[in-house]
A and B are shown apart, each in its own frame.
Chain A
Amino acid sequence: MLPAPFEYHAPRTIDEALDLLDQFGDEGKVLAGGQSLIPLLKLRFASPGHLVDINKIKELDFIEERDGTLRIGPLFRHKAAERSSLLTSRYQVMADAAPQIADPIIRNRGTIAGSVAHADPSGDWGSVLLAMDADLVLRSKRGSRTVKARDFFSGPFSTALEPTEILSEIRIPAAKAMTGGAYLKLERKVGDFATVAVAVHLQMDDGKVGSAGIGLTAVGPQNLKAEKAEATLKGARLDDAAIKEAAALAAEAADPKADQRGSVEYKRNVVRVFTERGLKRAYERARGGG
């Protein structure tokens, strides 16, 4: 399969990339890992006139914890996330999700930011970022703005990102003591898109829930944040009753469609079960176990 013709640009600096995007407007598209975009181009679901490949801008490949914030650059790849000891030790929801993205060869190329900007409702990173209450920095030639993950996704493959902007940084509040997370994914076979997945990011505070983040994958028109479930947990003791109540609320927040992967009832029930399990696993990890 051959994409429609386009002009290719490989800028060496982010300013150069932003200049190009500003010049091309609707006709420009950022190419990062390309593991979703190139298949779309080949199927001619998209045919931008100009591709701005950011792979030569090496300084965009970063992860660092600084000033109370975990910062992730637009070229940080799934494979690097899978191998990051920082994520394994302090951000388990991300460490859990990384090796479950597609397959190892795709993970060598694909990036977290690219996946988020692509905004497939069955994509995994969106739910993870919703659970972690991430901020997304959207930068254009004209300046930059910060959008909450919950305000970023607006529908299937639709986001707040303008064609002239790059998702230049993902910002996540640095994990405090007693933080734990988990990502549970049901797939028909290894490497498949999720039938259902649930992201949990939990911070305990003096025996009670300081904050709980719950993101849902593949059960709505976009990645969902189970806000009622999160609210009921805040300040609560994490006992069985609280976990059950939150899981029921998360299942209610899900809005799945029946397809060959399962019925609406089935998918909702998986959300409930995974939210329970995810909260328990996250709690164990927050206390230093698991």
Chain B
Amino acid sequence: MGQPITVTVNGEQRSAEVEPRLLLVHFLRETLRLTGTHIGCDTTHCGACTVLLDGTPVKSCTMFAVQADGQQVTTVEALAAGGTLHPIQAAFKQEHGLQCGFCTPGMMLTSVALLEEKKDPTDEDIRWALSGNICRCTGYMNIVKAVKSAAATMNAQAAVPAAAAAVRS
């Protein structure tokens, strides 16, 4: 019954034998014990279970683990590195971009993908990009603020090495 798969999760190759009907979100939470990815509606609406598949946001409740075989999955656990929060995490904290926090992992991963593509998104860009992630605490104002603030931080961080390189050359 089991099908062998190898998925690169947060940079680490993880192999397991899984039933084909096992959803990616259950593989992450139960097989790998990465419980940062949340199950919200379980009906493809809310975006709480969003992870990045080869860098692209997908709803992990609407994909089978076997489909991720040979691919890269990024979960919220990968955002902080070496005890330092990712700028998106720091910004959500600073701007009060969460109340209960349930939607936050999905919100942050979708935001990270947005900021990969658009360095300086407008409010409209952010709201549009996050329209598949639902926050029932209705905290959208501060979520948008947090994404803008993270964009500013990331742009400033990117500018420092660029400026240093310019001085050197």
Contact = CB atoms under 8 A, between A and B. Distances in A.
A105 B21 contact: no
A109 B58 contact: yes
B132 A105 contact: yes
Interface in A15-59: 34-35, 38-39, 41-42, 51, 53, 55
A60 interface: no
B49 to A, nearest CB: 10
Nearest to A109: B58
B47 interface: yes
Contact of A38 (B1, B3, B64, B131): B64
A2 B18 CA distance: 13
Interface string B1-31: 1010000000000000001110100000000
Given A1-B42, A35-B44, A190-B131, A105 B67 contact: no
A108 B131 contact: no
Chain A: interface size category: 20 to 34
B62 interface: yes
Given A38-B63, A191-B131, A106 B44 contact: yes
B131 to A, nearest CB: 5
Contacts of A42: 23, 42-43
A191 B129 CA distance: 12
Contacts of B66: 8, 10, 53
A272 B109 CA distance: 42
With most chain A CB atoms within 10 A of its CB, the pick from B21, B23, B57 is B21
Given A10-B66, A105-B50, A109-B62, A51 B132 contact: no
B132 A3 contact: no
Contacts of B19: 5
A10 B64 CA distance: 12
Nearest to A43: B43
B21 to A, nearest CB: 5
A105 B58 contact: yes
A4 interface: yes
B20 A7 contact: yes
A106 B3 CA distance: 26
Interface residues of B, number: 27
B44 A39 contact: yes
Given A39-B62, A55-B67, A109-B58, A104 B20 contact: no
Interface string B107-127: 000100000000000000000
A175 interface: no
Interface string A187-211: 0001100000000000000000000
Given A5-B19, A8-B20, A35 B62 contact: yes
Interface in A52-89: 53, 55
A102 interface: yes
Given A35-B62, A38-B62, A109-B58, A104 B67 contact: no
A109 B56 CA distance: 9
Given A104-B57, A108-B56, A34 B20 contact: no
Interface string A221-256: 000000000000000000000000000000000000
B63 A103 contact: no
> Among B3, B43, B58, which residue has the most Cβ atoms of chain A within 10 A?
B58
Interface of A: 1-8, 10, 34-35, 38-39, 41-42, 51, 53, 55, 102-106, 108-109, 190-191
28 contacts: A2-B23, A4-B21, A5-B20, A6-B21, A7-B20, A8-B64, A8-B66, A34-B62, A38-B44, A38-B62, A38-B64, A39-B44, A39-B62, A41-B21, A42-B42, A53-B67, A55-B67, A102-B132, A104-B57, A104-B129, A105-B57, A105-B58, A106-B44, A106-B132, A108-B57, A108-B58, A109-B58, A191-B132
